Structure 1
């Protein structure tokens, strides 16, 4: 009897459905500043990676566009001169169903970028190699921590907006 009840409870809970409908590069640039300046000699690269995320509802039901924005900058450790700069906006179109409304925002900005990341990683690796540098393999991104930082940043911005005015 308890076995049937367990199956009934599972049947009532709709299964989350996520499908990648498409993915594409929205915008990309790569500047090999080292070659442009004609610099030569030994360089010790110091790479920084910045990630920004955006999610937009599409006109079609249950469809969302997720945009991951990566800025990859490399400077020479010795003199902080710029070696290269890469900017990549990579997007995915997702069909998502049965995610509770209160969990949709984190789902869109954590799970969807996690699905896109291997493709971004490959693009960055190929472009840096083709741009004249050793292939750069991005470290995995902690999208949960990134999401939490963004929520904290937004909360602080709202707090700062309310503090100076005194009245709403």
Structure 2
């Protein structure tokens, strides 16, 4: 268990786990006959559930879709989750922990899982670039304010 102490605030990682995995290759084996000139699309979503007073589940959903022309080569979705203790952290910072800090911790695990699934489907390796969750949060806030 990792423990970070910010004066009186504390943060613990209790558990990191896969909540759900899906891999679909609906157009195989015909798709393997085409030249690999795919268009990849990544969708990201995060959500959290409060399990008790200081314990939260955070889920990072990563969905990667690869298309060749109008055909789907593969669709891969991973819900990477974690249980975190967030103790004595003011609400102002709690949102940042739940929507930025925890997803940053979960992202490498989810990215590795997607890479593994795509490779097992015998498609070319897929490596996701790091995500700036701070920027995603800022964009969501500014969209809601308009």
TM-score range, shorter chain: 0.7 to 0.9
Q: TM-score, normalised by structure 2?
A: 0.87
Kept after mapping to 2: 8 A contact 1:14/1:98: no
- Aligned counterpart, 1:85: 75
Q: Which runs of 5+ in 1 are unaligned?
A: 1-12, 157-168
- Paired with 1:110 and 1:122, the residues of 2 have a C-alpha distance of 19
Secondary structure, in 3 states, of the residue corresponding to 2:128? Answer: coil
Q: Within 5 Å, give how 1:11-160 maps onto structure 2.
A: 14-35=7-28, 38-39=30-31, 40-59=33-52, 61-76=53-68, 79-156=69-146
Secondary structure, in 3 states, of the residue corresponding to 2:127? Answer: coil
Give the helix-richer structure, 1 or 2.
1
Secondary structure, in 3 states, of the residue corresponding to 1:84? Answer: strand
- Paired with 2:36 and 2:111, the residues of 1 have a C-alpha distance of 23
CA offsets 1:102-122 (integer angstroms, 9 cap, x no match): 121122110001011111111
- Aligned counterpart, 1:161: none
Kept after mapping to 2: 8 A contact 1:18/1:96: yes
Task: Tell me the number of residue pairs that the alignment of Structure 1 and Structure 2 aligns.
Answer: 140
Q: Which runs of 5+ in 2 are unaligned?
A: 1-5
Rg larger for = 1
Kept after mapping to 2: 8 A contact 1:53/1:68: yes
Q: TM-score, normalised by structure 1?
A: 0.76
